[in-house]
Amino acid sequence: MNTQITRSAGIATGIGYYMVGNGYKGSTKELDDKVVEIADRLTKLYGKNVEIRFNSDRESGGGFIKDDNFSCKIGVGARLASSEFISLTREEKIAFPMENYDKLPKDLILYHVVLDESIRKTGVGTDDDFNSIEEALEFLKENTDLLALQEYLSKI
């Protein structure tokens, strides 16, 4: 089967003309290149079509296995982040004035896993950030319920 990687122009919310996921391309070449790499690796791993989506601010996006729904059950996301903010303690982050967050330099890319609970092993959360695509994909592989995954993939 030939797999395809497509870019999303966004999804209509039904609220006026408001669209989500309509960033189309990353705000930096590095971020865009990393998301394209994610999409390529997901097509090779699962043998299915993958959709690339970016949020409207284009500072975060990811590759998602394309299905007949919203294509948000399996994927890996990437986002621009500030090493200065990441290095703060939990208490410092809570006290940090959010109006200053956008002033911080976004000097690194962090990754996260999107894995629907219907396909995820019981008791596993997906709130962690990862420093590399490899780490995120490894987490995805280790924490997927294989039977549920096979059933999901067979339907798309």
Is 8 in contact with 22 (CB distance < 8 Å)?
yes
Model pLDDT, residue 20:
66
Model pLDDT, residue 22:
67
Q: What is the DSSP letter of 144?
A: B
For the chain, give the mean pLDDT. 90
Task: Tell me how far apart the alpha carbons of residues 60 and 51 are, in angstroms, rounded to a whole number.
Answer: 14
Cα Rg of the chain, angstroms: 16
Q: What is the mean pLDDT of residues 111-123?
A: 93
Asked if residue 35 has pLDDT above 80, the reply is yes
For 38-47, write each residue's pLDDT tens digit.
999 999 999 9
Domain coordinates in residue numbering, the chain: 5-154
For 71-83, write each residue's pLDDT tens digit.
789 999 999 999 9
Model confidence at 9, pLDDT cuts 50, 70, 90, reads confident
Phi, psi (deg, nearest 5) at residue 57: -75, -10
Which range, of 66-70, 78-82, 142-146, averages the lowest pLDDT? Answer: 66-70
Determine the residue type at 80: L
pTM of the model: 0.87
